[in-house]
Structure 1
Amino acid sequence: MSEQKLSDNERLKGQSNFLRGTITQDLQDELTGGFNGDNFMLIRFHGMYQQDDRDIRNERTAQKLEPLHNVMLRARLPGGIITPKQWLVIDKFAEESTMYGSIRLTTRQTFQFHGVLKRDIKHMHQTLNSTGIDSIATAGDVNRNVLCTSNPVESELHQEAYDWAKKISEHLLPKTRAYLEVWLDGERLDTPDQEPILGSTYLPRKFKTTVVIPPQNDVDVHANDLNFVAIADNSKLVGFNVLVGGGLAMTHGDTATYPRKATDFGFIPLSHTLAVAEAVVTTQRDMGNRVERKNAKTKYTLERVGVEVFKAEVEKRAGIQFAESRPYEFTGRGDRFGWVDGIDGKQHLTLFIENGRILDFPGKPLKTGLREIAKIHKGDFRLTANQNLIIAGVPKKDKAKIEKLALAHGLIDDSVSEQRKNSMACVALPTCPLAMAEAERFLPEFVTEIEGVLAKHGVTDDSIIFRVTGCPNGCGRAMLAEIGLVGKAPGRYNLHLGGNREGTRIPRMYKENITDRQILEDIDALVGRWAQEREAGEGFGDFVIRAGIIAPVVDSARDFYAV
């Protein structure tokens, strides 16, 4: 591979002076609202993507104006925990300094600002820093925000798992001072930068890590490069099963790309956690494909070099041997809505936030409601990997006050169906430059249509895990859904069937490039059969496999595209 021409991203990273580039100078360029040259990509390592409002792109072109460039920022928030004080700071910034005024909860268990103009970018980073938040390594070829099961019940076990998520995040962060210097006016030091874990050209591709507490697979482990499955003994964390090589992105028309489940490497005690995390990352750093970015993720490295070769290298670098995996079971992956009693005697309220979009809507002033709750709440907020929010650690004496505010602002809505709670979409249009079709704006009305189908066939007491992505890059995790739609063109999607409720099976394409009306007709027919022919407790995804409607994906590299 060394004799082949490297991807241009490798040149970019190597010439970036450890991710500084000329971003500082670019910020002073008032002739454009965007970033020039390599800086367009380099800002991703600082947690930002350059975007524009595609709804008005043609209008601006006709006016001989450049696109309305702005950035989306994704914060680093390991485990998704944020204090009410921090929430009030980000709420204020969203209101005063973004084009859309919203806060968006993401599938990466953090929040994003959308629509930040160039003049406000530095102020944004300094505002976040003032409250203890940054956006280091939430995008780019690095280990990104570390996810952790949002478990409001087993509080002590969750605290241990969350602590490990933070430790892993800190251990794998870039060591360059670029973020400090560019955004926080930090002093430039004479000592050279070093990246002992990530290397001078960082990783071949993005890298995602989770810590998960069975039986809830709420972080979708099979969507991630590295996963630590918590193993407890008498409610005390004793170690992790390590799963490596999951990922959902693919490219339309390229059969060399495919979604893949993570492979179970085995069990490790807690004392080996950071060493194993580092060893997996450095093995991928050195073995990953730096020629073809479409095949640069860890999942493709495992397929190319072999699982046992990769695993043996991790053991060598970490100085350990994986033990046999400890037994565990995933029984679900959705969030547990409403009030839940924690073992610590406190109450936890999980709120459903459709599409994770926190804004004041007509009749539902969600953003105002959370602001008012943050003013009086003494616990914390926990963001989930399913775009929802938990008001955690509520003393019993404060429960009535919190509930009253939530009800008054539409944050509690008993009319929301189980189907809607189990549906999810990526952002897509108008802000994502990769989107080929609608997702977030498409989801609410289409879920209403699915609700109608379920009612028609008498199964409203049940639901189907339904997800939509505007392109095949996987942000909405449609490739772990029972019904997954992947955008192909405006108004057209590929329909995938056959995932399961536990999130341990990849769905297969059922029909390609069809309209939403055609999709709804297929769902109607299939749900009709499910309602009549299903076995007791059988989920939709399991039914379509058992009934022979679609073949299961057993080995993605070999049979994902099989007819």
Structure 2
Amino acid sequence: MSDKKTEPKSEKLAANEYLKTDSNYLRGTIKQGLGTAVTGSFSDGDQQLIKFHGFYQQDDRDLRNERKEQKLEPLYSFMLRARVPGGVCTTRQWLGVDKIACELTSSNSIRLTTRQTFQYHGIPKRHLKTIIRDLDREALDSIAACGDVNRNVMCNPNPVESKLHAQAYEWAKKLSDNMLPHTKAYAEIWLDDEKIMTTKEDVEPVYGETYLPRKFKMAVAVPPDNDVDVYTNDLGFIAVAEAGELVGFNLVAGGGMGSTHGEVETFPRLADDFGYIKLEDTLKFAEAVMTVQRDWGNRVNRKRARLKYTIVDHGYEAFKAELEKRVGVAFEPKRNVVIGDRGDRYGWIKGVANDWHLTLFIEGGRIKDLPGEPLQTGMREIAKVHKGDFRMTSNQNVIIAGVDEADKAEIEGLARKYGLMGRLISETRGHSIACVALPTCALAMAEAERYFPDFLSKVENLQDKHGFLDQAIVIRMTGCPNGCARPFAAEIGLVGKAPGRYNLYLGANFEGTRLNKLHKENIQEAEIMAELDTLFGRFVAEKEVDETFGNFTVRIGVVKAVNDAARDFHG
């Protein structure tokens, strides 16, 4: 296919493109809006720009009708998402994050995300600047956590291969730091830095004045684990090691989960394998992928603006050739690596350096004090005495990493005292995740986080009924098809269609290298459970040795395999 843009230059660009161009490198009128006390919201244009600074404007949808009847504006608040490359933070940082949650948010909680960072919900506008400044004091920020830029870079938090993890993590940090926006708008607006006069020639050498056409996600995987779901990212680096040392990466590109109900030109997609690159070429290839997307990406239709569509529209070979041209280095054949489990290792694991790591299951990633389970207090108490670090996982859990043998008993005692440890969870629950959805997400069509624990209990009962509760099934639920919890890469995916109604997707494999496909549309819980009951019965009776549920549903023809998303996902 041609490597020229598919959209005629004369076509009207998407509204966000004009907004970015006129924003003076993401400044807009955010500073003025911040000082306007008559409303809890920002202007429509600034609502798009504040995403680049790490915020989303939201309102409590549970109270929306009530407030409308009272002739009040919606109960506006903000969600802040931090930038924490690889999910690693110090205990001091954790205590700072916790203090902010307790003092400056109405939710009084911390939520661990599916991209290894944390986010706050329920922030009033008057507290935004204070939160940013408090985070800055802990060497944390939220710049580029959202928006049409490279977002939080994920990295396998593997506590066993400590040396290899440390090397991979350093590259995750380098990728994150090198791909940050250069604009000074963040520091000027939130940290009161002196305004710097900038020129269009040198402000954004990678992004340009209009940044990327859409969001961009990156991950570093350390085989055999695929906990970061590397193939669901725009750009992924799969670590290749020799004698325990990182020597390079297999580069994959073109993944992305979002789609739109009923619009067949949109679809989720897994990344393509492009080949092996040496360590010294990593940043050059990352920049090349981003600049090709900047130059070739669709700026007319935002629904078709992710990198996955750029590769589909221009062709794999043309895209690969352009990368090699810009870097001046050819891809080598990809190295053979094994991609396996996407789950976390719960409980204590001993690392190669004779230290210990404790992985704690956090339901829905929500760290909050609950009756009988004061989780937030427990994490706070552990942070006060822990000498290592904390690692947030892409499954919304947390690892207490780097614990000396002598300190194990104290850490475990605190974890058990505060309900962070001791709960028995099934293999399926331990592998499953959900997005926030209602009441705060403006895009949510159905429940996810609040409903998911009860839903999983019903699935566990069915597994127990059919005698395979010990076998993991990757289940994911989202309130809409934007795919924040990566539902299209789940063996069982539930995607919200309307209140109490979901599309049921089946057929992804356990390892995360094949997408699922729509099986039943717009169905309620009773029909979902009836369908799973029948399929679970067949699974136990007809499965082959070591067969996983997703592979089984494809083999018996419940759904067809999705080998080419553009062709197969809707076909």
The answer to whether the superposition gives a TM-score over 0.5 is yes
Q: Which residue of 2 aligns with 1:173?
A: 180
Q: Which residue of 2 aligns with 1:87?
A: 94
Q: Which residue of 2 aligns with 1:55?
A: 62
Segment drifting more, 409-418 vs 235-244: 409-418
Q: CA deviation at 1:370?
A: 0.3
Q: Which residue of 2 aligns with 1:376?
A: 385
Residue of 281, 305, 308 corresponding to 1:299 = 308
Residue of 410, 413, 429 corresponding to 1:404 = 413
In 2, the alpha carbon distance for the partners of 1:352 and 1:191 equals 47
1:275-354 maps to which residues of 2 (within 5 A)? 275-354=284-363
Q: CA deviation at 1:191?
A: 3.8
Residue of 38, 48, 63 corresponding to 2:45 = 38
In 2, the alpha carbon distance for the partners of 1:37 and 1:546 equals 49
Cα RMSD, aligned residues only: 0.7
In 2, the alpha carbon distance for the partners of 1:310 and 1:52 equals 41
Q: CA deviation at 1:547?
A: 1.2
Please state if 1:65 is matched with 2:46: no
2:255–2:308 CA contact under 8 A, matched in 1: yes
Deviation readout 1:200-240 (Å, 9 max, x if unpaired): 10000000001110100000012110001000000000000
Please state if 1:158 is matched with 2:165: yes
| Structure 2: runs of 5+ lacking an equivalent | 1-7
In 1, the alpha carbon distance for the partners of 2:197 and 2:290 equals 28
In 2, the alpha carbon distance for the partners of 1:191 and 1:255 equals 43
Amino acid paired to 1:557 = A
2:274–2:331 CA contact under 8 A, matched in 1: yes
In 2, the alpha carbon distance for the partners of 1:462 and 1:164 equals 34
Please state if 1:385 is matched with 2:407: no
Q: Which residue of 1 aligns with 2:29?
A: 22
Q: CA deviation at 1:37?
A: 3.0
2:395–2:432 CA contact under 8 A, matched in 1: no
Deviation readout 1:333-392 (Å, 9 max, x if unpaired): 100100000001100000000100000111111000000000000000000011000000
Amino acid paired to 1:239 = G
1:463-474 maps to which residues of 2 (within 5 A)? 463-474=472-483
2:503–2:518 CA contact under 8 A, matched in 1: yes
Deviation readout 1:390-429 (Å, 9 max, x if unpaired): 0000000000000000001111124222121122100000
Amino acid paired to 2:230 = V
Amino acid paired to 1:435 = A
Amino acid paired to 1:71 = F
Residue of 433, 437, 458 corresponding to 2:467 = 458
Q: Which residue of 1 aligns with 2:561?
A: 552
Deviation readout 1:8-54 (Å, 9 max, x if unpaired): 00000000000000111101111100001311110000010000011
In 2, the alpha carbon distance for the partners of 1:446 and 1:348 equals 30
In 2, the alpha carbon distance for the partners of 1:332 and 1:189 equals 48
Superposition TM-score, scaled by structure 2 size: 0.98
Q: Which residue of 2 aligns with 1:196?
A: 205
Please state if 1:108 is matched with 2:115: yes
Deviation readout 1:426-471 (Å, 9 max, x if unpaired): 0000000000000001101010100110111111111211100100
Amino acid paired to 1:481 = A
2:342–2:431 CA contact under 8 A, matched in 1: no
Residue of 480, 491, 494 corresponding to 1:482 = 491
Q: Which residue of 1 aligns with 2:15?
A: 8
Q: CA deviation at 1:548?
A: 1.4
Displacement over 6 Å in runs of 4+: none
Aligned residue for 1:54, secondary structure, equals coil
Aligned residue for 2:177, secondary structure, equals helix
Q: Which residue of 1 aligns with 2:550?
A: 541
Q: CA deviation at 1:190?
A: 2.7
Please state if 1:517 is matched with 2:526: yes
2:85–2:155 CA contact under 8 A, matched in 1: yes
- Decide whether aligned partners of structure 1 residues 295 and 191 sit closer, same or farther in structure 2, where only a CA change above 3 A counts: closer
In 1, the alpha carbon distance for the partners of 2:539 and 2:417 equals 38
Aligned residue for 1:429, secondary structure, equals coil
| Structure 1: runs of 5+ lacking an equivalent | none
